[in-house]
């Protein structure tokens, strides 16, 4: 089978009667079972897993939404060192074979899989062909969520994927989650299950690594900065000295623990920060770890992979024993702290639940969701709404001037003044944008989409392609597909894809 044929399906040849029959069969069900796949491609490692996810209908049939009641990981791939070519780009051919081999070894075909998620993280998203790999899955099948995760979104994914967010909710406590990967460390402060802030800095277990011949030739910029401060040469002969590698790892570990404890950073620590410093409205009552280095911190493995991850873990343990006053907790997922796949459900939007300004930009796939979850007062605080939407976009690594979905929970009366205020907020975030910019989808949970769409156009001056729909609730890590307008019967299909975690 050719690489480009692997994910090809024949769903497009189903006629409308078959589609209608499938939709009715799903509507009549109270429970569903999906086979889903999660594929994580990082700067250092990549892996894949399959899971069976069981859903139960929430509410009445017309709601057409299911909630997860059980999930079971049925197969995990080996951990793959992400393949790169000599020019530094990801080896897409090798990666494709890894995915195909994983499907075969698990006993599944592409047609067996109901949904999936492909996440590119860390340094991988900087590679010249990262987005091509990301889109390789999306263009072959609408069943997949495909996302390139920048530092903040990766921090959120790690907190959910590791189990740290759920642990905080179960405990009713504040936890600090620390994901130490190959090139970066991500922090997430979780209060009662809610992620209140995230941060990242350039410390990881593969900043110094061996090449295919066993020589210590891979030295990332962060490690070079540390070595320069310590007066350690970064040639292969120097880095072959275990003492030199241990010294570099020890210095990196001090920065990690400075970030964990909230101590003031020195000049090197500040230089390695990739985001704003973590805000701490509440102090953590415990710390959780995930990522490749956590496998050594918790003693899950002693196997070496030609890098400084074991030395970094040992140094972090030493620093924590001296400086951390709260317990360390293993949330359970380690290096596999990522998605297990995605669920999805489809709604057909029409009539008064829809505003559609032409069909430009349709269909559109994998639009990230930018949310406002606050309460809208009788007089809407426009500055607060704009600030919250921009913060949500930043955390999702989403550009609201490009194709995006903005979701708002509406409360209160639908007066023209309040609709106009909300429309100005959305326009302030989504504009300025030229007429040919990406599709803007606005989703509200109350029955105001048609009105809001007109106000966005006529009062707020939004000129880009616009779809407004109501009666749908979206979550933090949802993605949205919007299909082409179907006339008759005059509907637009909207697919909501939600990332799933073990």
What DSSP assignment string belongs to 215-255?
Answer: ---EE-HHHHHHHHHHT---SHHHHTSHHHHHHHHHHHHHH
Please state whether beta strands 404-408 and 440-444 pair in parallel, antiparallel, or not at all (unpaired).
parallel
pLDDT in tens, the chain (502 residues): 555 556 554 444 445 555 555 555 555 566 778 888 888 888 788 889 998 888 776 654 444 556 677 778 899 999 898 888 777 778 888 888 899 999 999 999 988 888 888 888 765 676 565 665 765 665 554 577 777 788 898 899 999 989 999 999 999 999 999 999 989 999 999 999 999 999 999 999 999 999 889 999 999 999 999 999 999 999 999 999 999 999 999 999 999 999 999 999 999 999 999 999 999 999 999 999 999 999 999 999 999 999 999 999 999 999 999 999 999 999 987 777 666 666 666 666 655 677 888 677 788 888 899 999 888 989 999 999 999 999 999 888 888 888 899 999 998 999 999 999 999 999 999 876 555 568 899 999 888 989 999 999 999 988 888 999 887 888 878 888 888 777 656 677 788 877 777 6
Q: If phi over 0 gives left and psi between -120 and 50 gives alpha, with beta otherwise, what is residue 299? A: left
Which structural domains are found in the chain, ordered by start?
3-148 (3.30.420.40), 163-334 (3.30.420.40), 343-501 (no CATH)
| Interval 255-288: pLDDT, tens | 999 999 999 999 999 999 999 999 999 999 999 9
What DSSP assignment string belongs to 65-81?
Answer: -EEEEEEEEEEEPPPEE
Among candidates 335, 365, 380, 367, which has minimal Cα distance to 179?
335
Three-class SS of residue 155?
helix
Please state whether beta strands 286-290 and 174-180 pair in parallel, antiparallel, or not at all (unpaired).
parallel
Q: Which residues contact 118 (CB under 8 A, 6 or more apart)?
A: 39, 41, 134, 137, 138, 144, 145, 146, 147
């Amino acid at each position: 089978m050719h690489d480009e044929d692997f994910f090809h399906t024949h769903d497009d040849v189903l006629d409308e009667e078959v589609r209608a029959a499938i939709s009715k069969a799903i509507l009549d069900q109270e429970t569903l079972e999906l086979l889903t796949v999660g594929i994580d491609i990082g700067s250092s490692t990549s892996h894949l897993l399959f899971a069976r996810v069981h859903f139960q209908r929430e509410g009445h049939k017309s709601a057409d939404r299911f909630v997860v009641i059980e999930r079971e990981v049925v197969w995990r791939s080996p951990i793959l060192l992400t393949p790169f070519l000599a020019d530094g780009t990801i080896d897409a051919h090798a990666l494709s074979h890894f995915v195909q081999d994983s499907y075969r070894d698990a006993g599944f075909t592409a047609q067996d899989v109901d949904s999936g998620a492909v996440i590119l993280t860390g340094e991988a998203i900087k590679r010249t062909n990262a987005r091509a790999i990301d889109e390789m899955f999306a263009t072959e099948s609408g069943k997949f969520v495909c996302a390139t995760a920048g530092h903040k979104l990766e921090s959120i994914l790690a907190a959910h994927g590791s189990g740290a967010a759920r642990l905080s909710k179960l405990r009713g406590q504040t936890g600090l989650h620390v994901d130490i990967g190959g090139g970066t460390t991500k922090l997430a402060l979780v209060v009662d299950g809610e992620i209140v802030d995230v941060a990242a800095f350039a410390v990881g277990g593969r900043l110094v690594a061996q090449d295919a011949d066993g020589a210590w030739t891979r030295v990332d910029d962060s490690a070079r900065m540390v070595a320069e401060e310590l007066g350690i040469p970064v040639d292969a002969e120097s880095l072959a000295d275990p003492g030199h590698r241990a010294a570099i790892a020890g210095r990196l570990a001090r920065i990690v623990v400075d970030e964990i404890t909230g101590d003031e950073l020195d000049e090197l620590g500040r230089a390695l920060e990739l985001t704003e410093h973590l805000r701490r409205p509440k102090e953590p009552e415990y710390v959780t770890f995930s990522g490749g280095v956590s496998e050594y911190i918790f003693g899950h493995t002693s196997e070496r992979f030609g890098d400084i991850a074991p030395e970094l873990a040992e140094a972090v343990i030493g620093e924590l024993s001296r400086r951390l006053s709260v317990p360390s907790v293993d949330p359970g997922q380690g290096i596999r702290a990522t998605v297990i796949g995605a669920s999805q459900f489809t709604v057909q939007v029409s009539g008064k639940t829809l505003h559609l300004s032409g069909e430009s930009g349709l269909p559109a796939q994998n639009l990230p969701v930018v949310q406002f979850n606050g309460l809208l007062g009788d007089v809407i605080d426009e500055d607060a709404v704009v600030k919250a939407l921009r913060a949500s976009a930043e955390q999702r690594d989403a550009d609201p001037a490009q194709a995006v979905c903005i979701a708002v929970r509406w409360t209160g009366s639908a007066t023209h003044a309040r609709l106009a205020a909300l429309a100005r907020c959305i326009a302030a975030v989504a504009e300025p944008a030229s007429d040919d910019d990406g599709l803007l989808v606005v989703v509200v949970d109350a029955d105001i989409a048609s009105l809001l769409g007109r106000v966005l156009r006529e009062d707020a001056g939004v000129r880009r392609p616009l779809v407004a729909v109501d009666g749908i609730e979206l979550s933090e890590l949802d993605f949205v597909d919007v299909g082409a307008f179907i006339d008759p019967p005059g509907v637009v299909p909207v697919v909501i894809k939600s990332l799933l975690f073990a």
